[in-house]
Amino acid sequence: MCGIAGLAGTAADREVLEKMAVAIAHRGPDSDGFLVDNQAGLAFRRLSIIDVAGGDQPIFNEDESIAIILNGEIYNHHDLRKGLDERGHRFRTHSDVETVLHLYEETGERCLQELRGMFALAIWNRRDSSLFLARDRVGKKPLYYSRLSGGGIVFGSEIKAILQHPEVKREPDLNAIDQFLTLQYVPSPTTAFCDIERIPPAHWLRWRDGRVELSRYWHLEYEDKLTASEPELKEELLRLLRGAVAIRLESEVPLGAFLSGGVDSSAVVALAAEASATPLRTFSIGFGPSQFDEARYARLIAQRFETDHHELVVEAGAPELINGQLC
């Protein structure tokens, strides 16, 4: 994962942006990057996976009028890039992120309809001094924001980045805390802090001249879509699963998979091993009390698909570990 943060409509202080980046450094230990304009700034922490050598962010378009930072991965970027090349766009990197930038140049927020992937992104447009934020369809990648009293906006992958801005209050939202204690989660778009919200999944936000526009770009459709026979549906499910796993295997660094031994992770490992030219690395966590330990099932799957398997056993002593973290 990577980390993004930034602001618009308020003085872009390099020191504040650096503090925001440090707060989410655990999300991207490989490098950082910044854009500092008069009334806008972007901060980025990178975990290098695709275009390790040339994919540092922010990434700019040809005339540097638009810049992007993105946490996530766009799985269909090769197909999208081919069309953009044919239409005259000039790329500086091999990064999937730059594909989104040029697509946004062409179609604005409609570019999100063409993206297949997981992402939280921010695009600063110097042409009209606007900030564009967006999250993927199911919200795999987080993105929070807070509106400032003077009309500006601050955003980040995590709330701790937003709290580095001196104008953002560190005030708990007691209603949200009540919801958490009742429901065991805080319903979107609220958070545990006053005046800090999350951008909902499948939504984009545009800030310009102190005004915020929030819109949904995708809905999950529940009506029946297929009328084939059961054998045909089984074959279609397997085809879709194969494609979904294979498209996620692009990487310039070693790949691995979490393996619990359950149906979901076992299916992913089976299809990933099938698509991999080298043994897949798998990782499992076991527990000391045998009645809670499912590591044996993970071992069976690892043996069946000849993975490079790694297992960590968590022993008793968790309360002591917690005390050590709190003290």
Residues 40, 101, single domain; the answer is yes
Catalytic residue selected from 2, 111, 194, 327: 2
Whether the CB-CB separation of 200 and 120 falls below 8 Å is answered with no
Spatial CA neighbour of 141 closest among 53, 19, 59, 47 = 47
CB atoms within 10 A of CB 156: 29
Residues 165, 257, single domain; the answer is no
pLDDT of residue 81: 95
* pLDDT of 59 above 70: yes
Residues 201, 234, single domain; the answer is no
Residues 143, 271, single domain; the answer is no
pLDDT of residue 251: 84
- DSSP conformational letter for 27: G
Task: Provide the token pair at 28.
Answer: 């991207």
Stated pTM of the model: 0.91
pLDDT band (50, 70, 90) for residue 1: confident
Instruction: Give the mean pLDDT of 203-228.
Output: 93
Residue 221 inside a domain? The answer is no
Number of domains in the chain: 2
pLDDT of residue 48: 84
Please count the residues of the chain. 327
pLDDT of residue 226: 82
Residue 236: which domain range? Answer: 230-319
Residue 225 inside a domain? The answer is no
Residues 78, 146, single domain; the answer is yes
Q: Residue 32: CA atoms inside 13 Å, Cβ hemisphere, count? A: 18
Residue 114 inside a domain? The answer is yes
Angle between helices 263-275 and 295-304 (to 10 degrees): 20
Residues 57, 197, single domain; the answer is yes
- Domain-ending residue, one of 216, 246, 266: 216
Q: Would you call 2 a catalytic residue per the annotation? A: yes
Residues 174, 249, single domain; the answer is no
Task: Provide the token pair at 63.
Answer: 């005339």
Q: Which residue has the tokens 């970027």?
A: 77
Distance CA 190, CA 203 (A): 15
pLDDT band (50, 70, 90) for residue 132: very high
Residues 105, 150, single domain; the answer is yes
Share of the chain above pLDDT 90, in %: 81
* C-alpha distances out from residue 23 to 28, 73, 221, 306, Å: 11, 22, 38, 40
Residue 324 inside a domain? The answer is no
Residue 327 inside a domain? The answer is no
- Domain-ending residue, one of 170, 190, 216: 216
* C-alpha distances out from residue 81 to 78, 95, 120, 267, 279, Å: 5, 10, 19, 31, 30
Residues 23, 59, single domain; the answer is yes
Residue 315 inside a domain? The answer is yes
* pLDDT of 241 above 60: yes
Residues 197, 250, single domain; the answer is no
Residues 41, 121, single domain; the answer is yes
Instruction: Give the mean pLDDT of 236-250.
Output: 93
* CATH number, domain with residue 137: 3.60.20.10
Residues 190, 285, single domain; the answer is no
Residue 326 inside a domain? The answer is no
* pLDDT of 71 above 90: yes
Based on the number of CB atoms within 10 Å of its own CB, is 325 exposed (0-12), middle (13-18) or buried (19 or more)? exposed
Whether the CB-CB separation of 10 and 54 falls below 8 Å is answered with no
Residue 224 inside a domain? The answer is no
pLDDT of residue 292: 74
Q: What is the pLDDT of residues 39-58, one digit of tens each?
A: 999 999 998 888 787 889 99
- DSSP conformational letter for 113: G
11 vs 174, more confident? 174
Q: What is the pLDDT of residues 250-297, one digit of tens each?
A: 888 888 999 998 999 999 999 999 998 889 999 998 877 677 778 899
pLDDT of residue 323: 63
* CATH number, domain with residue 271: 3.40.50.620
* pLDDT of 325 above 60: no
